[in-house]
Structure 1
Amino acid sequence: MTAPMPLIIDTDPGVDDTFALILALLSPEIDVRAVTVTFGNVSREKTFANARRVLALAGRTDVPVAAGAVRPLVHAQGELAADWHGADGLGLRSAEFPEPGPADPRPAITLMADVLSASPRCSRGPLRNPVPAHHPRLTRRASPARLRVPGPGTYEDAASAVAGLLLPSTARHND
C-alpha cells in the first residue's frame, strides 16, 4: 500500500465542497494537512465556520483551518451567489452540524507556507490563497508537486456558482 497523499485543501465550503472535504478527511488515501478557506457562494466568515463544522463532524479537529481571501484576486465581486447553497452555504442546514471546531490563528497563506515547507506535495482548491509563487519563505523545492483546480460544469451560468471563475481575467490567475 502506498503512503497517503499529503494534501492542503483550499476551499469555499458550500454543499459541494463540504461533501468533497468529508470524503478527503475520511479517505485512507489522503492525508489532509491543512484546510484554508476563501469566500465563495457565501462570505468567507461563513465558509470559515462551515469548514470548521465539517472537521468537527468528521472528528478531525486536529487539522488546522485558516481563513484566507475575502474577495477575488483581480476584480470586485458584485454579489455572492447564496441562492446556490443557501444563506449559510450548507443548504440552510448549518444548525444540524456540530459547533465549529478551533480556528488556526495564522492567515491562510502562512499556514500553506508552513505546511508546504514541512512536506511539499499537493493542494486543491480555487487557489485564491496563492501561496506557492508568492510567499517569500518558499523555495522551488517547497512548491507543491501537483495542483488540482476545480472548474464549472457544462450547465448555464456555471461561473456564478464557482466563485474562483467569476471572470475570465480572474480565472487566468489560477495557472
Structure 2
Amino acid sequence: MAETASPEPKRGREEDEENVSKKQKVEAEEEKKPFGPVKLGNKTFGSSLELFDYFNTFLHAWGLNLDVNKYEHTMLLELLRKGHPEADEKIGGEICAFQVRKHPTWRSKCFFLIRGDESADDFSFRKCVDHILPLPEAMRVKHDANRALGKRGGGGKGRSRGGKGKVNTLSKVSDS
C-alpha cells in the first residue's frame, strides 16, 4: 500500500516558502536603501533630513501652477525615479513639466507632474524621500484608517480637519 502525502503539509510548506520568499524580498529591498550620501542631479544629500528640507523648502517657495525650471525638473524627476515605489506607473511616459499646485482634496501644496498627454498627477515628496533615506519616525507619513474609509480625518496630513483632537506639531511641514 503506497503512502500519499496529505495536502495540508504541502500547503504548509508552500506557505512557509512563500513567507520566506516575501521576507527575502523585504530584506533585499532594505539592503537597497542607502544609509549614506545620496546624489540627485548635481546635489549630494548626507541625510534624509537634508533631502527632506531641500524639497520642503522648494515646495513652499515655488509659485503655484508654474512650470519648474530645468534644474528643479531634473531634481524632481530623479526623486521620483529613485524614491517612488511605482515610478514607471506614476511617470506613465514623458513628463513635460512639474508644478507646485494646491491639492484639490487636501488643500495643501504638493508637487504635480504633467505628462505629454496633458494629464497631471500628484506625488508625495515625503514618501519618496523616506523610500530613499528613511526619515525619523516622527516625520514619516502616517496612514489613517479614517482616510482609507473615505472619512475626512486629519491622519497623515499633520492636522485635524474635524475640529476635534490634537494638532500635530509637524503640520508646518506636511505634504500630500
TM-score, normalisation: structure 2: 0.22
Q: Between Structure 1 and Structure 2, which shows a larger proportion of helix residues?
A: 2
Between Structure 1 and Structure 2, whose CA radius of gyration is higher?
A: 2
TM-score, normalisation: structure 1: 0.22
